Every structure is written in C-alpha cells, then in structure tokens.
Amino acid sequence: MNTELTGVVITFLLTILLAYSLGKYVAKVFGGQKTVTDFMNPLEKLIFRISGIDATKNMDWKQFLKSMLTINMLWLVYAFFMLLFQNKLPLNPDGNPAQTPDLAFNTAISFVVNCNLQHYSGESGMTYLTQLFVVTFLQFVSAATGIAAVIGVFNAWKEKTTNNFGNFWVIFTKSITRLLLPLSIVVAILLAFNGVPSGYQGKDTITTLQGDTMQVSRGPAAGMVAIKHLGTNGGGWFGANSAHPLENPNYFTNMVEITAQVIIPVALIFALGFYTKRKKLANVIFGVMTAGILCLLVPAVIAELSGNPAIEKLGVMQPTGAMEGKEVRFGPAASAYWSIITTVISTGSVNSMHDSSMPVSGLMQLLGMMINSFYGGCGVGILNYFIYIIIAVFIGGLMVGRTPEFMGHKVEAREVKIAAVVTLLSAFLIKGFTALAAFMVANHPETAWAVQPGAWLNNPSYHGFSEMLYEYTSANANNGSGFEGLGDNNIFWNVTTGFVLLLARFLPIIGPIAIAGLLANKKFIPESPGTLRTDSLTFGVMTFGVIIIINALSFFPALTLGPIAEFFSLK
Amino acid sequence: MKKNLLISIKLTAVFIILLAVIYPLFIAAVGKATPGGGNGEKLSVNGKVAGYANVGQKFTDDKYFRGRPSNVDYNAAGSGGSNKGPSNPDYLKTVQERIDSFLVHNPGITKSAIPVELVTASGSGLDPDISPAAASIQVKRIAAARNLSADQLHTLVANHTQKPLLGLLGPSKINVLKLNIALDKLK
C-alpha cells in the first residue's frame, strides 16, 4: 500500500479509537459521574450564578426548545450588527470594510446554524474582532446547541416514561466547559506548534527571494481552526480554508484537523449506547453509518487517485492522481478522504477545492450532504438519523402488520407526520431553490445584482448546474462547503441560502425533539415476541435501505443533470 | 419568555468573555513559544527576511525551481484555487498553455515526464511544496542557467526531500522556498 493510502487508513482507525473513549467520557459527564474535568465545577457554578440559572430545574421538551430558540435568536441579532459595523469597531489591523446588509444577514445566520457558508474571504471580509467575537464564539455555541439537543433526546430515551429532557442551560454550558473548550485548547496548541498563527499582528509585506513584493495575511487563527473542526462548523480563517498553508501547514496538522472534526459526532453515537444503556442499538447505528461512509469514500478516493481523464489526454503524467485545486503536502488520497468526511459530517471545511474534484467525488460529496446523517454534525447527525429510524419503523410496522414501536413506545400518526415533513423539507428546499437559480441564469442573466446571474457560474454546462445544486445542498445540510467558483456574494444567494439555512437547521432539530418528547410521554410497552427490534442487524439494514430509497427518490433526477452527466461526458 | 431572554443575554455575555477573549489570548500566549512567535515562521537570508516558511512564493526566473501555478499569483493577502471543473474546455486550454510554456523553458524534456502538479493550480494558490519528481525535472534547466552540474543539483533535491510523516503517512514533498535558498548558496 502506498503512503498516501496508509495515511488515510491510519487516520480513520485512530479517529474511531479516540471517539470510543470520548463517547464513554461524554456519557459520564452528562450522567453526572466523576470525570477528570471535575475541576471545572466551580467555573460552571459561577456561570450559573451570574446568568441566574437554576441548575436543578428540569425541563420538558417544550421548555427545552424555547430556551434553545431564544438564545439562538439573540445570537442572530448580535452577529448581524457586529458584522454590519465591524469597520468602526476595534481590532481591525488590515482596515477591512463592513459587510453589506445582505452579506451580514447570510453570514450571521450561517454561523448561528453551525453551517459556515462563507460568501466572503476571511482575509478581506472580516476583522480580527468579528473573527473572534462572532465567528469563534458562534462556532462554540452553535456546536453546543447541537450537542445539547441530542443529549436532551438521550434523556428522554433513558427512561421508560418521562417528561424530562434535562436542563438546556446546564447541558449547553457543560458541552462547552467539559467537551469543546478543553479539546479546542489541546488541538489549538498542536496547531500553533506546527505553524498555524496565533498572534494578533496584521498583514505583513515582504520582499520575496526573487525580488517581488508580497503580502501575507495572518492573525490569531489557531484557536478558531481548532473549534471550527471540533464543532463541525467548517468556516475558515482564510479564504482557502484548510487548503491554506497557514491554516493547515503539514500532513500532521491535516490528520489532527480531520480527526478533530469526526471525533465528537462519532463519540456521541457511542455515548448514546453508554448513556441510555442501549449499546447494541448504538453499535448497529455506528455500523450502518460507517458502511454508508465507506460506500461514498471508496469511489471518491479511487476517482481522485486515477486522475483526470481529460488531462491524461494532454499527455502529462499524473503519478499521484488529480492535482487541480489540491495541495502537494496532502495529495489526492487525503484530499478525497477529507472531502467525503467533511460532507457527511456537516463540517464543510475543505483542504482541496471541491469544485475541481472529479465528477464521481462531486457526486459522493453531494450525496453525503443530502443524506446528512452518516455520523452527521455535532448532535444533529443522530437527530437526522432518528428521523430515518422513525420512517423505517413505520414502514416495518406496515410490513409486519403491527403498530410500529420505538423504544417501547407506540409510533403513531402525529410522529410519522413530523418525520415525513422533516424528510420532505430537504428535497423541497434543495430542488426548489436550485430550479429558481437555474431559471434566473437561463432567463434573466442581466439582472442588476452585485454579481449578475449570467456571471454566477465559473464553469459551463453540467458542472455549472452542479455549482448551484451544491450550494443549496450545502446550505440545507448546514454544511458550509461550496463549489466555490459560484459567484455567490450578491443579494439573491445571500438571502435565499439564508432562509434555507434557518429552516434546515431548526426544523430538523425541533422535529426530532418533538417526536422524542411525544414518545417519551406515552405508556411504556414491554417487549414481546412480536416486537420489531430496532437494535437488530436486520433493522439496521432496513434503515440503510430506507435512507437510500428516500434520497434516491428525492435527488436522483437532479444528480443526473449535474455530476452524473459530467461523468459520462468526460472521456 | 422574559426570563429565558434574560438568562440568554447574561449567558451570552459570559461566554463571549470566555471564548472570544480569554481563549484566544491564552492560545496567543502559548503561541509565543512557537517558531515565529505565533505570527508565522519566517526564513531569512543574510539577516534579511526572504519569506514565510509555509507560504509559497512566485518563482518565474529560470534560475530558480518553480512552484505550482497559482490562482492568486502568490499574493497571500488572499487565497484560493481556480475552481475550474475537470471537464471545462477553457480550463483544459489553460493547462495546455502551461504545458507548452514549460516545454519552451525546459528544452529536452518530453511532455510525458511533466508531473501534473506543475501545470495545475493548487487549492490555496499558496502551495509551498512540489513533489520530488517535479523538482528533478527542472534540474536540467537550472544547471544550464547557473552553470552547475546536474549531479550537484540532484543531490540538493534529494537532501531537501521531506519523507512521509513517520515514513509511512502521506506523500513526499519539497519546500520550494527552502530549496531555492539552498540553491542560491551553491557555488
């Protein structure tokens, strides 16, 4: 095996190993058992006292949601105004301008919802103040929101019949003090010692060896790069994200960053097993998700290692594979691995430009975001998977002719309706808005926006269509990566993706919490021989089938117009 | 509702102080101990700054090893790739032009020996590295331009090749700036 492939395999195995131990730790933290981080206790008590939080108060699912939504709305307003006035605020050594209202609208939403779609370049579109007080701050708290949501659901699953989701404020705070902050400090220090800048000095101007003048953007990036991955956020300090040599300087930092972004989502799956005492269910879920990832990963790695057939024809050699948009220090294998992990996990950071990926990899990236639950983002991955489980239970129930059940509770019309709405929402948002964008390109190319629709696409034909499809898929998955050739900093894209982001973040959190809340309230029915067991391999395979069928039905036609057509036209 | 809002405001304020002030300042303090003091590691020639160790530079002179084509012309005030799709005809034309230009500058090299990274743009536009093969293929040109022996240059390239991490993870690479600084010192 060559060293590029061993790099990928070792990274993956290391991740699973670390995530398993972390999962145990997470279960202990939220189960109130002793852990190594108990020295945080006084700090947490102080935070609760200052904020007026009664840590002993339990919440039902409605109170839990209200608290979560209130604080999220507050962040939205705060972030919007900070970005709008960043040019007048301190910590702006490079003298960068304010964001336009539509861009600030998009950016604020994007970071609140853990997406990090960036319609600006960090070097020129942000100040150090907003990078820290808006971006870094929101990267912590949006991830903590997702983790709190799933821990709330775990609390509902833990008991036979209960109203209790736990206290949102407490779970949220502990997600930061016990999980995100300590891990970020470790990762940030590893990155800083490998060359990611952490100081506050502004842009530098130097004379190169050859005698040209060049500028170098810098800034306190190390801390943000750490949480951008641990919190599955993905928004980069620099425009080129983790392809930038100061954001991701070598193969070691690449391994650290790619591991950091998967570790919490995977740990939460194992935590589900330890916390709710359903290890078998957790293992089945982990198995299905891992199988799903391999189905996306293997073709992408092969496609990138094989190189671009159109370049092959020009007669140069592609000893390692396709290199457009990739960095030499990572190589095509690690770039393909990253591109799949970042899309299934909803991180959306990149270490190569996805727009220049081979069509097969582009297809796999899109599928990863459409499915959005093979591991998935911090907390929300499991919630998305939960929706697929409800649908699978429903279909399974119909097949065996019994009322469907999940964890000893009857799944009835109301729950299935919620699950159906959440599932259909993705297809509606992605296809509806892509169609609208394509309509503008085809019929109103001269509309007087900052970037005219005729100039939106950086590539012609099928690939141009993929750029639009990718943008909405990414927004809907709260992913944040892009086919970045798209001219997206204008009012059309800023506003439409802004709305997609909001809907696609909060409905898929509200939906599963509501279902879990409704189910937990119902009478517990002990298992009988006729029960459809949800922790069996058979049910795992069935869920996998449901995921494939729903997504194939929803997206196959759209994918045919984009990457699939490009694949067959590329000889 | 009102109570939730009040808690939200206070909790947000507390976490802004912890996460946007204390956390990055702490990392910056630790970062002072790193090479470059947290503001990027620089390389100097005769006491004069020649560049950032990790940020690629533009080399167009035939006397120097060249790095990869850059979509931002190696100006690190910005960054980014071409974002051209693999089937884009304009893009393929650009690659063809780069191949032609490379052959003009490197007489005696056959097209099939050019490693693809020398004619394709990197993701950041600031890629500091090339592969050992991409360095070796430029030896002939540089030897002629500098009146040095090819053997001497091949040794230089071999000495500057960074092996995969722990010998088994990731690709081999060469930092172009470091290589060129060493090249200038050869007599």
For residue A550, name the pLDDT band (cuts at 50, 70, 90): very high
The answer on B90 and B23 residing in a single domain is: no
Interface of A with B in 520-549 (CB under 8 A): none
Q: Which residue from A52, A314, A325 is facing B123, i.e. has the nearest CB?
A: A325
Pick from B15, B18, B173: which is nearest to A329 by CB?
A: B173
Lowest mean pLDDT among A264-273, A335-344, A396-405, A426-435: A396-405
For residue A158, give Cα distances in angstroms to A163, A265, B13: 11, 19, 33
B34 → closest Cβ in A10, A193, A359: A193
- Chain A residues touching B1 at Cβ < 8 A: 66, 70
Q: Is any Cβ of chain B less than 8 angstroms from the Cβ of A204? A: yes
Number of C-beta neighbours around residue B151 at 10 A: 10
Contact A459 B85 (CB under 8 A): yes
Q: Is the pLDDT of residue A1 over 70?
A: no
**C-beta atoms of B86 and A327 within 8 A:** no
- Cβ separation B96–A314 shorter than 8 A: yes
A78 reaches B (C-beta below 8 A): yes
A406 phi and psi, to 5 degrees?
-140, 125
CA angle (A13, A14, A18) in 5-degree steps: 120
- B31 and B57 share one domain: no
Query: What tokens does A441 get?
Result: 């390109």
Contacts of A4 in chain B (CB under 8 A): 170-171
CB contact under 8 A, B58 and A239: no
Same domain as B102, residue B127: yes
pLDDT of A89 over the 70 cut: yes
Whether residues B12 and A74 touch (CB distance < 8 A) is answered with: yes
Please report how many Cα atoms fall inside a 13 Å half-sphere around the Cα of residue B57, on the Cβ side. 30
Q: Which of B16, B36, B127 comes nearest A133 by C-beta?
A: B16
Chain A neighbors of B75, CB-CB under 8 A? 214-215
Is residue B144 located within the same domain as residue B80?
yes
Q: If we measure between CA atoms, which residue out of A555, A367, A472, A457 comes closest to residue A115?
A: A472
- Mean pLDDT, rounded, of chain A: 94
Please tell me if residue A310 touches chain B, with a CB cutoff of 8 Å. yes
Is the domain of B26 the same as that of B88?
A: no
Query: For position A49, what pLDDT does the model report?
Result: 97
Q: Are the C-beta atoms of B138 and B14 separated by less than 8 Å?
A: no
Q: What is the DSSP string of A419-469?
A: HHHHHHHHHHHHHHHHHHHHHHHHH-TT--SSS-GGGS-SS-HHHHHHHHH
d(CA A462, CA A562): 5
ipTM: 0.95
Burial of A391 (0-12, 13-18, 19+ CB in 10 A): buried
| Contact criterion met (CB below 8 Å) for A469 and A434 | yes
Nearest to B75 among A214, A222, A330 (CB): A214
Q: Is the pLDDT of residue B1 over 80?
A: no
C-alpha torsion angle, residues A145, A146, A147, A149 (rounded to 10): 80
* Residue A330 CB contacts under 8 Å (≥ 6 apart), including other chains: A251, A254, A338, A351, A352, B170, B171
Minimum Cα–Cα distance from B87: chain A residue? A570
Same-domain check for residues B84 and B55: yes
| Yes or no, beta carbons of A245 and B80 under 8 Å apart | no
Distance CA A447, CA A507 (A): 32
Structural contact between residues A374 and A296, judged by C-beta atoms closer than 8 angstroms: yes
Do B66 and B151 sit in the same domain of this protein?
Answer: yes
Give the minimum alpha-carbon distance from A219 to chain B in angstroms, rounded to a whole number: 7
8-state DSSP, B76? B
Based on the domain organization, do B124 and B33 belong to the same domain?
no
- What span, in angstroms and rounded, lies between the C-alpha atoms of B107 and B87? 29
- End-to-end Cα, chain B, rounded Å: 77
Range of the domain at B34: 1-39
Helix (H, G, I), strand (E, B) or coil at B45: strand
Nearest CB neighbour to B119, from listed A223, A316, A569 = A316
Interface residue A225 vs chain B (CB under 8 A): no
pLDDT at A528: 84
Q: Is A406 exposed, middle or buried (0-12, 13-18, 19+ CB in 10 A)?
A: buried
Percent of chain A with pLDDT over 90: 93
The verdict on B144 and B84 lying in the same domain is yes
pLDDT in tens, A298-312: 999 999 999 999 999
What confidence tier does A571 reach under pLDDT thresholds 50, 70, 90? confident
Report how many domains make up chain B: 2
Instruction: Indicate whether B112 and B174 sit together in one domain.
Output: yes
Q: What is the DSSP letter of A317?
A: B
Mean pLDDT confidence for A181-193:
97
Give a three-class secondary structure readout of A231-290: CCCCCCCCCCHHHCCCCCCCHHHHHHHHHHHHHHHHHHHHHHHHHHCCHHHHHHHHHHHH
Q: Which of A519, A2, A21, A8 is nearest to A297 (CA)?
A: A8
Of B60, B87, B170, the CB nearest to A331: B170
* Chain A stretch 484-513, residues whose beta carbon is closer than 8 A to a beta carbon of chain B: 484-485
State the pLDDT confidence band at A527, using cuts at 50, 70 and 90.
Answer: confident
Say yes or no: B84 and B169 in one domain: yes
Residue ranges of A 311-350 with Cβ closer than 8 A to chain B: 311, 314-320, 322-331, 334, 350
CB contact under 8 A, A240 and B81: yes
CA distance to A91, A448, A493, A549, per residue, from A434 (Å): 38, 20, 11, 21
- From chain B, pick out residues whose CB is under 8 angstroms from the CB of A173: 11
CA distances from A64 to A69, A121, A152, A514, A523 (A): 9, 36, 8, 10, 21
- The yes-or-no verdict on residue A399 having pLDDT over 90 is no
Task: Identify the H or E element spanning A74.
Answer: helix A61-84
Could you give the CA distance from residue A167 to residue A142 in angstroms, rounded to a whole number?
17
Distance between CA atoms of A327 and A130, rounded to whole angstroms?
A: 28
Q: In a 3-state reduction of DSSP, which class is residue B68?
A: coil
Give the number of other CB atoms < 10 A from CB of residue A469: 27
Long-range pairs for A527-535 at CB < 8 Å and ≥24 separation? A527/A408, A530/A400, A530/A402, A531/A405, A532/A393, A532/A396, A532/A397, A532/A400, A532/A402, A532/A404, A532/A405, A534/A281, A534/A389, A534/A393, A534/A406, A534/A407, A535/A278, A535/A280, A535/A281, A535/A284
* Residue where the block lists tokens 């899109």: A366
Interface touch B86/A358, C-beta < 8 Å: yes
DSSP A60: -
Distance from CA of B156 to the nearest CA of A (A): 18
Amino acid at A229: H
Helical H runs in A118-180?
122-125, 128-130, 137-158, 168-174
Distance from CA of A34 to the nearest CA of B (A): 24
Q: How far is CA A482 from the centre of its chain?
A: 12
**Under a CB-based contact definition with an 8 Å cutoff, are residues B145 and B63 in contact?**
yes
Q: Is residue B31 located within the same domain as residue B92?
A: no
Instruction: Reply yes or no on whether the pLDDT at A555 is more than 80.
Output: yes
- Distance from A446 to chain B by nearest Cα, in Å? 23
Among candidates B28, B75, B171 on the partner chain, residue whose Cβ is nearest the Cβ of A198: B28
In this structure, are residues A301 and A337 in contact, taking their beta carbons and an 8 Å threshold? Answer: yes
Closest-approach residue (CA) in chain B for A168: B4
CA distances to A67, A158, A545 from A166, in Å: 12, 11, 33
Q: Are B83 and A484 in contact (CB under 8 A)?
A: yes
- Would you state the pLDDT for residue A46? 97
Q: What is the pLDDT of residues A351-377, one digit of tens each?
A: 999 999 999 999 999 999 999 999 998
Answer yes or no: is pLDDT of B187 > 90. no
